[in-house]
Structure 1
């Protein structure tokens, strides 16, 4: 049986800091699939075919930002009111069409996520119209509908428009509360403005308000990080995600690094190394759990049951996600889909649709992947590792046995506690959980299990 350090990690006195050389990208999965070509007739057939999924989501993408953050490589289009309005007009019409198709209306949706970009850069009336378009779909009674964005510019009119049109969860990218760190990272607003606005919004009787923090930003010392963590508690928000800064290729930070420069606050050129970032994660996890916040995943905690994080939970379980908008990703009838990011091409696809009555959404430039025959199984693995507890009884018995030597290696290296049938990730394992997912799929590729043994 073949093992590599990228599968198992390494044995170290401090696995939190040293189990792997570098933390993997945000997601893991199998590789070697090749994109498919879908003609217009097949596209039409997709939308005329009812869904067979038991759980579903909508993902709607707004590819506009007023400013490019230093750590981000996803910036696509500057926020221009006329361009945003044109985009929203088209998007709302496509949602209206999709809601009336057999695929769109055959089964109710459990959750909806409006992401970006910066969706809160829409005007209040545009947010309201988008919310109304979402309501045309069949939705479960307790549906979660998330609007992502930033606090800057998200005024009371937008807040009211969102609430009145059905949005009940709001995810704001704070990244850090420290004013100097924020300015260097390209963020708007100072700490006081953020604290006051979050405290105000969090008083809503039913909506869930969650925020993202990034650890490892330039100038973010351990003291600053601990202040960030306490600020989360003080604001009254209902949930928080902790993400490690990852050096994304193409970001402003990456370009500066290539020139031997650092984008950092003027008063601090401090940059946490990988070991310090691991400690920052541990301090964050311990901080929230000491305040009786519940951990829903390796990076997400909630203050109370109001915050459900349904979209993020189900998306990791391989559910059907219908994608709308330039740059949106999802899955249709088991096929992974990623819409092209080019806004001009996206509009051209809609403008080239015949003038006759449109019965299905326009086919936009996109990459389509063949169904993963192991999708259901992979979802069990990924979801288990992401939450920190994998019940191996949910796996085919012979696969669980096949994976046992890998699980034992993880335990030996301080990443898990394996007491069959339960595989529980340690704090170090939760920090490295994407590496573990990637390593497991690498293990299966190097040590394939015969199909007849997988049952």
Structure 2
């Protein structure tokens, strides 16, 4: 049996601060898939086959931002009205084609997420166009439809067109309410504007307003962080995500750090280390839970039932997610999909395909450049692990007895190291475990790779849709 500190963490009097050295990635996963190539005819056949998924989502990507934030490493395209107009025109055309296919119509969708980028940078009329295109898909009666973005530029016209055209959840990247910290991070607007606007939008009778906060931003001291937490309550929003700043390569913060600099505020160059970020997480978790907010995941809390976080929850369960737009990711017929980010190539594929006289091009959305992967042979099992650990409690009844026995040595080490409490029916993460849950997921997948259990699914047991070759 191979057990390493990257799997188990280390013993420490303060596991919240020291169980692992640092959070190294936003998400965890394991391999097992391989690239798959589809001929255009196979792509057409794919969209004529009904879905076998029990739960489904749409993900629609808007790859434009007016400004690159200092913590962001995936800025793609500057906001330009003409570029956005062309993109929305082509995107909605692809959505309309896709909505009429047997694949799309075969089963209803539980949730839709419009992400980016900054989707709220599109015009009010384009918000309406996008909402109308989404409504062509079969949605369950209480489908959650999220529009992501920022408050700056999201005026009343956009708000009214959004709520009138199927959008019922709005996720705004606030990151910090502190005006100086926001300016240092490259954000628009000051604290007063944010509070006033959020208070206005949160009064809607049914829409869910959710915000993101980041802890560990340059210049963000513990005092400022605690003021951010209080501002969440004052804003009246229905849900909040608390995300840890991660030192990803390519960000302005990381580039400055490599040069020995800190992109702090005029008042402070304070930069929280991993231990301080752990304390910030604990402060946030304890604060909201003492305010009777319900924790839906290790990083998400709500104060009202209208906030359901359906997309974020189901996406961790390995559901089918049809992706649309340059840079969109998802899965179709069990195959992972990632559309290429190059906007010129995306438009070129769209224009060249629709210029063809072949009527078949109207029976499936455009096959744009990107990557398609074979089904993950352990997708169902991995979804149990991801969803359970992310929620803070892994239900052992969802696993086979053999798998529980196989994983018990790892679970025991997590318990010894203050990360979890193991009982007969469940593995419940401690506060420290919830903070380090991504490291724990990564460690679990590493454990299974180093200590394989006989009987795990292999690729030959996955039934591929007709017309798919790998």
TM-score tier after normalising by the smaller chain length: over 0.9
Equivalent in the alignment of 1:424? 428
Task: Return the alpha-carbon distance in structure 1 between the equivalents of residues 242 and 44 of structure 2.
Answer: 41
State yes or no: 1:433 paired with 2:434: no
Equivalent in the alignment of 2:296? 296
Equivalent in the alignment of 1:444? 448
Spell out the pairing of 1:55-454 with structure 2 (5 A cutoff). 55-353=55-353, 354-357=356-359, 358-451=362-455
Structure 1 SS opposite 2:308: coil
Equivalent in the alignment of 1:37? 37
Residue 453 of structure 1: CA displacement? 10
Structure 1 SS opposite 2:220: coil
Contact 1:216 1:244 (8 Å CA) reproduced:
yes
Residue 248 of structure 1: CA displacement? 1.3
Tell me: CA distance 1:352–1:283, structure 2 relative to 1, closer, same or farther (3 Å): same
Task: Return the alpha-carbon distance in structure 2 between the equivalents of residues 164 and 356 of structure 1.
Answer: 37
Contact 2:144 2:168 (8 Å CA) reproduced:
yes
State yes or no: 1:48 paired with 2:52: no
Contact 2:421 2:430 (8 Å CA) reproduced:
yes
Task: Return the alpha-carbon distance in structure 2 between the equivalents of residues 186 and 205 of structure 1.
Answer: 32
Contact 1:398 1:453 (8 Å CA) reproduced:
no
Task: Return the alpha-carbon distance in structure 1 between the equivalents of residues 194 and 456 of structure 2.
Answer: 57
Residue 6 of structure 1: CA displacement? 0.5
Task: Return the alpha-carbon distance in structure 2 between the equivalents of residues 318 and 145 of structure 1.
Answer: 19
Residue 252 of structure 1: CA displacement? 1.3
Contact 1:399 1:453 (8 Å CA) reproduced:
no
Residue 258 of structure 1: CA displacement? 2.3
Task: Return the alpha-carbon distance in structure 2 between the equivalents of residues 321 and 407 of structure 1.
Answer: 31
Deviates more, 1:22-31 or 1:301-310: 22-31
Task: Return the alpha-carbon distance in structure 2 between the equivalents of residues 255 and 112 of structure 1.
Answer: 35
Task: Return the alpha-carbon distance in structure 2 between the equivalents of residues 174 and 100 of structure 1.
Answer: 37
Tell me: CA distance 1:50–1:452, structure 2 relative to 1, closer, same or farther (3 Å): closer
Task: Return the alpha-carbon distance in structure 1 between the equivalents of residues 133 and 349 of structure 2.
Answer: 21
TM-score by length of structure 1 reads 0.99
Structure 2 SS opposite 1:146: strand
Gaps of 5+ in 1: none
Task: Return the alpha-carbon distance in structure 2 between the equivalents of residues 289 and 67 of structure 1.
Answer: 34
Tell me: CA distance 1:135–1:402, structure 2 relative to 1, closer, same or farther (3 Å): same
Deviates more, 1:373-382 or 1:7-16: 373-382
TM-score by length of structure 2 reads 0.95
Structure 2 SS opposite 1:352: helix
Task: Return the alpha-carbon distance in structure 2 between the equivalents of residues 45 and 182 of structure 1.
Answer: 49
Task: Return the alpha-carbon distance in structure 2 between the equivalents of residues 257 and 17 of structure 1.
Answer: 22
Contact 1:110 1:140 (8 Å CA) reproduced:
yes
What RMSD, in angstroms, separates the aligned Cα atoms of the two structures? 1.1
Task: Return the alpha-carbon distance in structure 1 between the equivalents of residues 322 and 410 of structure 2.
Answer: 35
Gaps of 5+ in 2: 459-470
Give deviations 1:62-95, integer Å, cap 9, x for gaps. 0000000000011000000000000000000000
Structure 1 SS opposite 2:47: helix
Task: Return the alpha-carbon distance in structure 2 between the equivalents of residues 24 and 343 of structure 1.
Answer: 29
Task: Return the alpha-carbon distance in structure 1 between the equivalents of residues 418 and 456 of structure 2.
Answer: 33
Structure 2 SS opposite 1:439: helix
Contact 1:225 1:280 (8 Å CA) reproduced:
yes
Task: Return the alpha-carbon distance in structure 1 between the equivalents of residues 444 and 230 of structure 2.
Answer: 35
Task: Return the alpha-carbon distance in structure 1 between the equivalents of residues 67 and 277 of structure 2.
Answer: 26
Task: Return the alpha-carbon distance in structure 1 between the equivalents of residues 388 and 39 of structure 2.
Answer: 37
Tell me: CA distance 1:407–1:2, structure 2 relative to 1, closer, same or farther (3 Å): same
Structure 2 SS opposite 1:451: coil
Give deviations 1:113-140, integer Å, cap 9, x for gaps. 0000000000000000000000000000
Runs ≥4 in structure 1, deviation > 3 angstroms?
Answer: none
Tell me: CA distance 1:405–1:41, structure 2 relative to 1, closer, same or farther (3 Å): same
Task: Return the alpha-carbon distance in structure 2 between the equivalents of residues 359 and 33 of structure 1.
Answer: 28
Structure 2 SS opposite 1:390: strand
Structure 2 SS opposite 1:48: coil
Contact 1:115 1:148 (8 Å CA) reproduced:
yes
